[in-house]
Structure 1
Amino acid sequence: MRIPLGVRTHAGTVALLAVLTAVACLLVSGLPRTMQASYDEALRRSLAGADVTAADLTVTGAPAQQPGELHSRAEFAYAARRWRALVPAALRPLTGPGGHISAKTFRTPADGKGPIREFVNLGWLSDAGRRVDWVRGRAPGAPTTMRYAGGTIPVIEVGVVEEAESRMGLRVGETRLLGESVHTAVRIVGVFRAKDPADRAWGHDADVLHVTHAVPADGPEELHTTTLMADAGLAALADPTRNLTYRWVFPLDPRAANALSAPGVPAAVAEFRRQVDVQGTGLISYRLATGLPQLVTAFLTALAAAQTVLYLVLGGLFAVALGVIALAARLLTDRMERTLALARARGAALGQVVAPGTALTALTTGPAALAGYALAYLLPGPAPPIVHIGPLAVVVVTVAFAGTRVALAHRTPLRERRGDLAAVRPSARRVTVEALVVVLALAGAYLLRARGVSGTAQQDPYLLVIPVALTLAAALITLRCHPYPLRLLVRLAARGRAAVPFLGLARAARQRATGALPVLILLPALSLSVFAAVIHDGITATQQVASWQKVGAPIKLTAAGLTPETIQRVRTAPGVERVAPAMTGRAQITGTGEQPYVVAVDLAQWRRVNEGAPISLPALSGGTSGGTSALVSPALGPRGTFDLTWLSPVRLNAEGVIDAVPGFYSSGQFLLVPWEVLPWHAADTLLIKGDISPAELARLVPSATIETQEAALRAIQADPLTGTVRTTMAVVTVALGAYALAAIVLSLVAGAEGRARTVSLLRTLGLSDRQARRLTLLELLPVVVITAPVGVALGMGLPAALGPGVDVSVFAGGLPVADHTPGLLTPVALAAGLALCAVAGAYAHTAMTRRRELDAALRVGTD
């Protein structure tokens, strides 16, 4: 058989196989690329949004003795080069070329007689010239000296931030003495402000930019500020009693992070920390301060959950795609069967028969796989190994399947067989293999529920294929069990007077062997598509609940000391429908000394505010003889009546335990009390329902912080990992549904020739077009009618069956998704689509066979 002739003869089938191969390779190569790109983007956003003191690498030094101190910019720069040289190779791409150095004193008291104790710390920033503007006075210069208490002390020129000028009364030209026993003086020569207050570098130097107010438990109020001095001021920091610290900050560059190298970051940080520790001496000690390992570990935990879910559905998609391609390859080998059988009968060796069938399949799938692989590079993202392995696996499996099928079909010349007889009893070996698949699938599901999946980026391949194994097991059980109800229907139809039901069901029963592959494809495709739809719907619904739990109301306004006039102004604003006031604070339980957080709220108004929301609010029965009712958190534990000191002493009766107060607290020690417990009407939170913009509320209450449920929902959905999971679920649902329809169509096409002969023969006996359509429909529907309910039921039950192995709470605001009942729209639509496809195929097949010459069916030896 010549290959070009075979391509021309079977052009339609070859084109179908090529299209299916190209689409499968595009999916198996393209989806992992986009997924990996989203993983990288999620890591970069996570690191960029983290606090700089946690994300950056900061080497701190604390001189223990005066010889360990550094007194010039050159010494600091030399140390910075030394630290950068010690950074492990795995961390170097993450540390950008920038960074800065600082030297600061802390808790440096200044002279003063007022009731508030003031601390004026000395600070030096290596890049102060780039980060601040001098708005009054001038930049500091070299230190001078002055006489004090019979001796000479250094006078360091410094600048202060505008906030220190206003809150602490520090003025340009003023000289302040520092230290308990005075050793240094500072002269304020200028006032500065930040050029860019939003610069992330200020996260390390917030003490320079702002005045800190502290209220110690055993002392007067304190105000702290850190001044700025020139390079020359470093030489004057020679007081051995001064608390001094150095910092070399190596900023993290989130743009250089990628998920593939993230697992090695914690170990690299640990190595860098060890290198820093050994550099310390008796004169100065060094340590590394960073929260980067914790940030990366938290990301890897979320990544593991995302990869688990996505690999589950993508593995199923790959298996179903291979099955549909195998069905198309079977169709191609069936079309070549007569030609190959003739060649085998004329003396061709088995290899000479297998080679053309295999070569035609390889020449069809090879270029198509290459085309799909090339198209995948149009999608953004790096290429993990599966991108290259997937298309090769598709070609190898398809060619091997085609070659094996041709070899089995033509292993003996002129092998006659009847295609309309019921299949023979399966061999013991086949039954054993099928039973082993079922047992392994059930055992894997049990293990997945018992231990879940690994919390790292490395997944357990056995557990990741459990959903596919469960669907395959269900398909095998369906294949073994569906002949029994079908035979019963055939017997019932045989008792009737109409011939069409009996003929249609009898043909369906006799074609059980040829219908095995469509069932093995259709059921996994349908169940996994329903599984993906259920997970997608569950995530979407839970995100709604999580956003309501986070805010507690459509709009939450928080501001200190809301007056009755302000509350009334908000209540009467255009667009505001209802307002529920609340007061929060920290109280103390008399007797135990515990200091829980307290929420006092008008629960009746709050319920009206949240009317129709997907969350329920706790209920309080009101006052009792033992005191006012309250609900306590699990951390406080069940208790009876107790005394609480808050705005005023009050006796409370613990009515029950609540896990969270929506919009306020979800962990730790807290309790909920009714609004009536307040000694006067005070509020710091307003829970609002209405159509009013946050900007308008900010205008009414300028000092308020405003949160909305819609903004919280957008923030949850904006996470790249969450978006990837939801998008991939939607794509996989559509793709698996399309493959299920393709399986139906291919099964129609595969049996079209034999079905056409039967219908044509029966039409010569008086079969009408309407009866022909019913006959075809009865032959096709058993596969759909039996497989579709099983697939839908299995897909809807997979999330519960897999249990904690599929934990997608990280994509739903931290709430568990398993408690939500899945919607029936998508599963019913998929099942109905398959049924409609079967009906449409029956009508199309009848229309095509109508053109067949009726006398051709009566000719001897014609097909």
Structure 2
Amino acid sequence: MSDRTAGRVRVAAPWVRTRLRSAPAAAAALALLVAVTAFLAAALPLAVDRYGDAGLRRSVETAGPGRTTIQLYASQDEAFMPLEEWQERLRPDAVRAPYAELLALPGRSLPLDSGQSSYGVRTTRRLAAPDPYLSRPDGIAPQFHLVAPGGLADHARLREGRLPKAPDDVTAATTAVEAAVTAQTARKLNIEAGSVLHLPGQERSPLTVRVTGVVEPRAPHEAYWSTTPVLRGPNLLTVPGDPQRSVFWAGALLLPPNAAPALLGAGGVPERYWTLVPEMSALHGHDLPRLTSAVASLEAGPLLQRARAAASPAVNAETSLDEVLAEHTELRSVIGPLVAVAAFGTGTVAAVVLLMAGGLAADRRRAELTLLRARGASLPGLAGRLLAETAVVAVPAAALGLAAARLAVDGGRAAYAVAAAGAVALLACVALPLRAVAAHRAVRVHAARDDLAAARPSRRRTVAELTLLTLAAGAVVALRTRGTPDGEGASGDGLVSLAPVLVGVIAALVLVRLYPLPLRGLARPAGRLRGVVGPLSLARAGRARGSAVLPLLALLTALTTAAFGGSVLTGVADARDRAAVLSVGADARIDGLQPLPSGLADRARRAPGVRDVTAVSVTHEGRPADGGPTVPVAGVDPAGYAALSRRTDIGAFDPDGLKASGAGVLPALASPEVADRHGGRPFPVRLDDGSRFTVRIVAVRERTPALAGLDFLVVDRSGLPAGPARPTALLVTGDRPDAGALREAAGGTAQVRLRTEQFARYADSPLQSGAERVYTVAVAAGAGYAVLALLLTLLRTAPERAALLARLRTMGLTRAQGRRLLVLESLPQALLAAAGGTVTAWAAIRLLSPGIDLTTVAVSTSSSPAGRAALRTDPVSLLVPALTVGALTVGIAAAQAWWTGRRGSVRELRAGDAR
């Protein structure tokens, strides 16, 4: 061979470029599939991180700075120190010195907000100010905390006067200092710039405090002011042990830091404090274990020891942040496994679809790969070339999907998204080479038939299937035995997430083995039928490929995930709606602290969407004369209230048994607890206004619309004295009553609550709403992949079906017969998938229901007015996906028959067109 000829050989078009140019449509379809799958796979961990972060931050914000701020304080070590050393420790430099080190203690484990964290000196006891001009609600002198905070000028605006000052030589003997107060404190306690307060001293003359300025907090609800709310404004407190429940004001006087030593001369027992505020924007849900550990360490662990070494040996810590984190962890631990069920199910279906796409490509190129093997191509060389041509398409597509996911979902850990997209790319790259290697490991020209009805699986396949079946069944049994009715055990186990996949594996293996049996049984009787379409379609169904485990597994898993997800979402919505109904008592409720105006019921009845209005009178403290616990009492109209109870399905009863008879004893409807205490004997009840009446319990119900709680009595309102009989609440029923119209009718004299608003309030947590959105998207994506799996299954046989119809049309088969043939041929497998999917979904729901409690997902707490919300099968979620599979199969087969009938080659080949 000449050099010139050799050069031509070396510059021949490479394999990858040639294959991509020869089948651009297949490459584009693979790129689209990989890009969409990579986008969904990468977006899932990002979305989970996003709603987890939002949920944690909402939990911390809702708890408030009073519970989430970590307060370090030191006072006991100085109690027996010389007065001079005690004074030096209270000076600004001594208090500020350990502050920076304390802020840095938790490090990245617990990010702290230096802008809201603070330090200073405060008294631990309130000091009464006897000055007569101060506000005294019940004639009791107000009491004050003396606080010398650092950074007051940075967190407050001056509204009046000037900020307080103090010389550097203030000592415990100082008897006069300056202070500032907040605008709320000044307004409510009648203080202004220039006011002078006198606070009792400790073994010395009173401490004179001159108010030099009134300040307005820049961010009154932030931690600097809200950790100790008395800094922001005064509180009304009740005198302890006072039978008259007299109240007094408790406020704070803000001293300059240099004045802190003067607190030693007052009787307030001063202490140094440092407040450490978590940085909201730096809190992440996936860091919960590290956050919990850091808080525990600060409360009683190594970090507290380091804080004592930095500030004082007697530093103590106080916070409720650990309780807030525990509550959030409980909510997350319940929601997480439910979301993982949809993620694992959808991920399995997506993986199967990618494998099916590789199998379809291998089948399409069967002749080409067989020829290459016959000409001496090695398996490693063939697999390497197929891997290269697939990677050229799949890797950029996966990168594009990853980039789209990062743009669509802000935040989250990028490493998990990259790993998910990389797994999709890897699976897409190896699907075709592995399928080709498996199909062409032996060099042959003709492949044996692989009919589903006639095939006899090899021993190797039987052993593999039995092994997989045993593992899946063992995992399901382990899951079933671990699950408990209260949700402990199963809810935190990874088997919960895999349950639909495991059940789908079992069902797919069993159904593929059982499916040929009815086909073989029907083959002989069908041969005696007169028509040609029935026997031919049955024979064609039996000629289907025997390797149907993957498509069936995809369909079963998708149907199971869709049905399970639909049941979860329906169960959550039902539990939430039921809790809202029980909380409100009707579709809407109007409550007043005092008896409602006489015309309010008529105005409410005229509001849009209102069907009926039921008036009730509620007294929350009915006192039985036998000395038992107080019982809420509701006076109702028996007929209207009974109708309301039936409509809301809350404690329905017979109204005739509750009507007052005029005999002096009122029939009563009671809760089980009240009925157990009083039995069926008459007993008198005294109300708040002193009126009395006698009741006898005639019916017992767990709940009633007018009153929520374990104890209640319901009586005929006409039998009550005139005062207690006046309505205090209106229970409104109707089709979405207009909230604005009801509030306008109430005119500000009563509180209006709607069931729809309560429903929305239950779903307000970002952790709940985010999980529900992820769940919905995952179920929808799983359904889409199921449809794609169905299409790929039909595409594998589409060329063969088209050729069959073309040949049969030349023998006189009509278009209508062709459509029936393809539809009847595809029905057995469609019915197998639909029926199997329904049974598999039902089995998965029955398997998981004892270990899943939807209460926390529905109402954000572990307890609900409606009780435990268990997972139940939803008929719509079970049947709709299965029917959809059947309808799609029939529709695709009919469309293929119609399209094949329109092709010109068929028109040229057909012998006639009998219609």
Q: TM-score, normalization: structure 2?
A: 0.81
- Matched residue, 2:455: 423
Contact map agreement 1:173 1:188 (CA 8 A) in 2: yes
What displacement does 1:766 show? Answer: 2.8
526-535 vs 778-787, greater mean Cα deviation: 526-535
What displacement does 1:590 show? Answer: 6.6
The two structures, once aligned, show a CA RMSD in angstroms of 4.2
- Matched residue, 2:899: 847
What displacement does 1:480 show? Answer: 1.8
Match of 1:578 among 596, 599, 613: 613
**Secondary structure of the structure 2 residue equivalent to 1:585:** strand
Distance 1:156 1:351, change over 3 A: closer
Match of 2:70 among 47, 57, 74: 57
- Report percent identity of matched pairs: 22
Match of 2:293 among 267, 281, 289: 267
Match of 2:53 among 20, 25, 40: 40
Equivalent positions of 1:173-572 (< 5 A) are: 173=195, 176=198, 178=200, 183-186=205-208, 189=211, 192=214, 194-195=216-217, 198-201=220-223, 202-208=225-231, 209-218=233-242, 221-231=246-256, 233-239=259-265, 241-274=267-300, 275-276=303-304, 285-379=314-408, 380-383=410-413, 385-419=415-449, 421=451, 422-427=454-459, 428-447=462-481, 449-450=483-484, 460-562=493-595, 564=597
Equivalent positions of 1:140-155 (< 5 A) are: 154-155=175-176
What displacement does 1:470 show? Answer: 0.8
CA distance in structure 2 between the aligned counterparts of 1:828 and 1:433, rounded to whole angstroms = 33
CA distance in structure 1 between the aligned counterparts of 2:903 and 2:615, rounded to whole angstroms = 75
Distance 1:136 1:755, change over 3 A: closer
**Secondary structure of the structure 2 residue equivalent to 1:124:** strand
Matched, 1:92 2:118: no
What displacement does 1:547 show? Answer: 2.6
CA distance in structure 2 between the aligned counterparts of 1:439 and 1:271, rounded to whole angstroms = 44
What displacement does 1:326 show? Answer: 1.3
Contact map agreement 1:33 1:384 (CA 8 A) in 2: yes
Matched, 1:781 2:827: yes
Matched, 1:671 2:697: no
What displacement does 1:184 show? Answer: 2.0
What displacement does 1:96 show? Answer: 4.8
In structure 1, what residue type is equivalent to 2:516? P
- Matched residue, 2:792: 746
Contact map agreement 2:607 2:742 (CA 8 A) in 1: no
CA distance in structure 1 between the aligned counterparts of 2:885 and 2:112, rounded to whole angstroms = 51
In structure 1, what residue type is equivalent to 2:175? P
In structure 2, what residue type is equivalent to 1:18? A
**Secondary structure of the structure 1 residue equivalent to 2:286:** coil
What displacement does 1:450 show? Answer: 3.5
- Matched residue, 1:730: 776
In structure 2, what residue type is equivalent to 1:767? L
CA distance in structure 2 between the aligned counterparts of 1:363 and 1:672, rounded to whole angstroms = 75
In structure 2, what residue type is equivalent to 1:74? D
- Matched residue, 1:629: 668
Distance 1:162 1:566, change over 3 A: farther
In structure 2, stretches of 5+ residues that fail to align are 1-13, 168-172, 911-915
- Matched residue, 1:149: none
Contact map agreement 1:557 1:685 (CA 8 A) in 2: yes
Equivalent positions of 1:851-862 (< 5 A) are: 851=903
319-328 vs 377-386, greater mean Cα deviation: 377-386
**Secondary structure of the structure 1 residue equivalent to 2:285:** coil
CA distance in structure 2 between the aligned counterparts of 1:486 and 1:425, rounded to whole angstroms = 16
1:388-414 CA-partner distances (Å, limit 9, x unpaired): 233333343344443333223223322
Equivalent positions of 1:820-835 (< 5 A) are: 822=874, 824=876, 827-828=879-880, 831-832=883-884, 834-835=886-887
CA distance in structure 1 between the aligned counterparts of 2:675 and 2:156, rounded to whole angstroms = 48
In structure 1, what residue type is equivalent to 2:781? A
In structure 2, what residue type is equivalent to 1:206? P
1:543-596 CA-partner distances (Å, limit 9, x unpaired): 3223333333334444433455686697588667625344353566676765x5
- Matched residue, 2:6: none
- Matched residue, 1:861: none
Q: TM-score, normalization: structure 1?
A: 0.85
CA distance in structure 1 between the aligned counterparts of 2:518 and 2:888, rounded to whole angstroms = 23
What displacement does 1:468 show? Answer: 0.9
Distance 1:48 1:416, change over 3 A: same
**Secondary structure of the structure 2 residue equivalent to 1:59:** strand
What displacement does 1:125 show? Answer: 4.8
Distance 1:566 1:365, change over 3 A: same
**Secondary structure of the structure 1 residue equivalent to 2:506:** helix
Distance 1:797 1:183, change over 3 A: farther
Contact map agreement 1:160 1:188 (CA 8 A) in 2: no
CA distance in structure 1 between the aligned counterparts of 2:760 and 2:266, rounded to whole angstroms = 54
1:268-289 CA-partner distances (Å, limit 9, x unpaired): 0111123447867999954222
1:283-340 CA-partner distances (Å, limit 9, x unpaired): 9954222111111222222222232112211111111111111111111111221122
Contact map agreement 1:120 1:178 (CA 8 A) in 2: no
CA distance in structure 2 between the aligned counterparts of 1:183 and 1:586, rounded to whole angstroms = 50
What displacement does 1:606 show? Answer: 7.7
**Secondary structure of the structure 1 residue equivalent to 2:347:** helix
What displacement does 1:429 show? Answer: 1.0
In structure 2, what residue type is equivalent to 1:216? P
CA distance in structure 1 between the aligned counterparts of 2:212 and 2:602, rounded to whole angstroms = 44
In structure 2, what residue type is equivalent to 1:499? V
CA distance in structure 1 between the aligned counterparts of 2:279 and 2:837, rounded to whole angstroms = 48
**Secondary structure of the structure 2 residue equivalent to 1:225:** strand
What displacement does 1:603 show? Answer: 6.8
What displacement does 1:449 show? Answer: 2.8
What displacement does 1:38 show? Answer: 1.6
Distance 1:137 1:435, change over 3 A: closer
Distance 1:851 1:229, change over 3 A: closer
In structure 1, what residue type is equivalent to 2:476? L
Distance 1:837 1:102, change over 3 A: farther
Contact map agreement 1:599 1:672 (CA 8 A) in 2: yes
Contact map agreement 2:346 2:779 (CA 8 A) in 1: no
**Secondary structure of the structure 2 residue equivalent to 1:580:** strand
Matched, 1:120 2:135: no
What displacement does 1:770 show? Answer: 2.1
What displacement does 1:508 show? Answer: 0.8
CA distance in structure 1 between the aligned counterparts of 2:900 and 2:502, rounded to whole angstroms = 39
In structure 2, what residue type is equivalent to 1:300? T
Contact map agreement 1:744 1:838 (CA 8 A) in 2: no
Contact map agreement 2:620 2:632 (CA 8 A) in 1: yes
- Matched residue, 1:80: 99
In structure 1, what residue type is equivalent to 2:323? Q
Distance 1:348 1:656, change over 3 A: same
Contact map agreement 1:158 1:227 (CA 8 A) in 2: no
Match of 2:632 among 570, 574, 598: 598
CA distance in structure 2 between the aligned counterparts of 1:442 and 1:393, rounded to whole angstroms = 26
1:525-557 CA-partner distances (Å, limit 9, x unpaired): 222122222222322333322333333333444
**Secondary structure of the structure 2 residue equivalent to 1:561:** coil
240-249 vs 718-727, greater mean Cα deviation: 240-249
In structure 1, what residue type is equivalent to 2:33? L
1:492-519 CA-partner distances (Å, limit 9, x unpaired): 3222111221111112123250433322
**Secondary structure of the structure 2 residue equivalent to 1:118:** coil
What displacement does 1:59 show? Answer: 2.0
Distance 1:663 1:37, change over 3 A: farther
Distance 1:770 1:205, change over 3 A: same
What displacement does 1:828 show? Answer: 1.8
**Secondary structure of the structure 1 residue equivalent to 2:413:** coil
In structure 1, stretches of 5+ residues that fail to align are 144-151, 859-863
CA distance in structure 2 between the aligned counterparts of 1:633 and 1:53, rounded to whole angstroms = 39
1:34-84 CA-partner distances (Å, limit 9, x unpaired): 221121122122212222111112223445727456543333323534532
